[in-house]
């Protein structure tokens, strides 16, 4: 995996855009993420669960690979406000 992606720290809930330098893909990626959350679990009398008020306390992106070409080493993080290269 690209160490640039592993080292990228974002606040929980932030949107991160990626670009594959191998094929130019900007839209399809497989992203493996580990999250630590806090949530209110509401069970009905019948035992059905509804998860409410979920907050992401910590989030770590472990791996990003391009869905089009399968490359994981050529994926880069686009800076905030970066224009899509066309």
Report which of 68, 1, 61 is spatially closest to residue 29, judged by C-alpha positions.
68
pLDDT of residue 14: 74
Answer whether residue 86 shows pLDDT above 50: no
| CA gap 69, 42 in Å, rounded | 42
pLDDT tens digits, 12-43? 567 889 999 999 999 999 999 999 999 999 99
Answer whether residue 52 shows pLDDT above 70: yes
pLDDT of residue 79: 74
Cβ atoms within 10 Å, residue 40: 10
| Backbone φ, ψ for residue 80 (5° rounding) | -65, 135
| Residue ranges covered by each domain of the chain | 3-77
Is residue 29 within 8 A of residue 62, CB to CB? The reply is no
| CA gap 12, 64 in Å, rounded | 17
């Amino acid at each position: 995996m690209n160490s640039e992606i592993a080292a990228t720290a974002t606040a929980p809930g932030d949107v991160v855009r990626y670009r594959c330098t191998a094929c130019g893909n900007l839209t399809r990626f497989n992203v493996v993420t580990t999250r630590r959350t806090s949530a209110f679990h509401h069970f009905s009398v019948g035992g059905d669960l509804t998860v409410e008020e979920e907050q992401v306390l910590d989030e770590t992106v472990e791996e990003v690979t391009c869905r089009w070409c399968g490359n994981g080493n050529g994926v880069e993080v686009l800076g905030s406000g970066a224009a899509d290269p066309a």
